Amino acid sequence: MFTLLPSSFRPVLNFVSIRKFSPRVLVIGLLLFSCSEIETAPDNPLELEAQAVKMGLDPKDPGLSFAAALLSGLKEESVRKFVSENIQDQFDGDLNFLYYTTKGKSLGGSSAKSITFEEALFGSQSSFRMTESSLEFDPLMQIALRGPEELLVDFSEIEESIPVLYLSPSQDLEADPFVPMITEGGAISTWDMRTVPDKPVLVISQNERLVKVPKNAGARIQNGDTCLQRATPYFSDGGNDYYFFTDAFCGGAGGTGGTPGEGSGGGSTGCDRDSNSNWDRIERVKFTTIEELRIAAGWRDGAPEVYFIVFTGSNQSNLAQIKKAIPKVDRSKWKDCSVFTCNTEWVFPEYLEIFNWDRQNYSQIITIQWYEYDPGDSETDEREITYKDPNTGIEYTKTETVVTSNNDEDLMMTPVIYCDDATGADARIHTTGKIDFVLKVN
């Protein structure tokens, strides 16, 4: 039995099926839509444009047209199966896939061997070129499955009635959190992105784990060229290569960390690092609160893309700043939720070594600055960093220049002292106020 809803709400059933019980159990429930006027389903592009104007949207936005075409295509079982399988592939570790790299793939099946994903949504290639020539889809446009994590873990196959939301790259969701939503039958409404839907939805948005790098060598990402030269792009188009964001600074493990020499240690000072020659590594990391996790990466973003920069005080330019990323894990791994409470959870990256902290070659105080990556334009910023001379022990401040994305979430920074506990159960938990982490040498 369903509860009666106000006229401004509309129930939608069977968004997603999950593999949890046998036989398959269909997730059945109500998604409460945001209070907004729901329009009649658009039967052609002109109707869609008219409705977009009425709702204050850009009627020529290609992404909105794509969202409508996708929802229409989901009426076909072959399209739903294709979308489900590509989401499950998790090419970047998250429940999403790119339209650009999959549009030419066959849907498969005995009756659809020659039909591509693009043709299934827009008709034959010749027709598509004539009728949709004005649509230029961003190569980073993705189709993502989003919603409550507990319903995404056992995801198996989407259903025809799943809603499609569109997030324009140009929309500031802090200032305007309402986005277009197209539901079964083509009805257009809006959804408040501050609210997690009760059931999974498809979100058309910009991929956050790939970085666009111009093929022009002179325009390569600053401080990342050495890493990119060793990496293979995930895909390329006419003018750009597209790398996973971790490739821009040599990934999560390995990378640019290192030691300038064997060194002689610091003598018998009683410090853990004096009696242990292993490299320092991030043993574990977590957000300080669920709210900080939400601010850094909302439900629409999938798993957080967390990275950090270590200011070492080295005189060698290639070791003065060491940039690393936390290997990607599912969003659910960052938190532990019960029926009544939700708390952040430790994430344990494997083999995330940073450098061999020889106190004769590095500052006795280093600083670790944390970020959550979001794609955008390169931005140069300055940080005032405190160091401690390895020979004299005198503290001094130096202005360091860092290059990040202008959309990155600043998770703040904190100093780490050479003689901080760094082994066993006594290893110190450092915090920036937004991120907690443990730096160990064993």
Digit-coded pLDDT (tens) for 157-195:
898 899 999 998 888 888 889 898 998 877 888 899 999
What is the model's pTM? 0.74
Q: At 243, phi and psi to the nearest 5?
A: -110, 155
Give CA–CA dist 279/316, Å, rounded.
Answer: 18
The per-residue pLDDT for 293 is: 93
**How many Å from the N-terminal Cα to the C-terminal Cα in the chain?**
58
Give CA–CA dist 206/169, Å, rounded.
Answer: 6
Digit-coded pLDDT (tens) for 351-409:
899 999 998 889 999 999 999 998 878 889 999 999 999 888 899 999 999 988 888 99
The per-residue pLDDT for 8 is: 35
Q: What would the two tokens of residue 251 be?
A: 């990934």
- Residue with token string 């994903």: 117
What are the CA-CA distances from residue 146 to residues 28, 122, 175, 224, 334 (Å)?
Answer: 16, 24, 21, 31, 16
Q: Cα angle at 411 between 405 and 417, to 5 degrees? A: 115
Mean pLDDT along residues 240-252: 77
The per-residue pLDDT for 215 is: 83
Q: How buried is 373 (Cβ within 10 angstroms: 0-12 exposed, 13-18 middle, 19+ buried)? A: buried
Domain boundaries, the chain: 16-207, 249-440
Q: What is the SS3 assignment for the chain? A: CCCCCCCCCCCCCCCEEECCCCCCEECCCCCCCCCCCCCCCCCCHHHHHHHHHHCCCCCCCHHHHHHHHHHHHCCCHHHHHHHHHHHHHCCCCCCEEEHHHHCCCECCCCCCCCCEHHHHHHCCHHHHHHHCCCCCCCCCEEEEEECCHHHHCCEEEECCCCCEEECCCCCCCCCCCEEEEECCCCCEEEEECCCCCCCCEEEEEECCCEEEEECCHHHCCCCCHHHHHHCCCCEECCCEEEEEHHHHHCCCCCCCCCCCCCCCCCCCCCCHHHHCCCCEEEEEEEECCHHHHHHHCCHHHCCCCEEEEEECCCCCHHHHEEEEECCCCCHHHHEEECCCCEEECCECCCCCEEECCCCCCCCCEEEEEEEECCCCCEEEEEEEEEEECCCCCCEEEEEEEEEEECCCEEEEEEEEECCCCCCHHHCCEEECCCEEEEEECC
Comparing 326 with 46, which gets the higher pLDDT?
326
Instruction: Calculate the average pLDDT of the chain.
Output: 80
Largest CA distance in the chain: 79
- How far does Cα 87 stand from its chain's mean position? 15
Digit-coded pLDDT (tens) for 257-315:
444 444 334 444 579 999 888 999 999 999 999 999 989 988 888 889 999 999 999 98
In angstroms, what is the C-alpha Rg of the chain? 25
Give CA–CA dist 425/403, Å, rounded.
Answer: 35
* pLDDT(117) > 70: yes
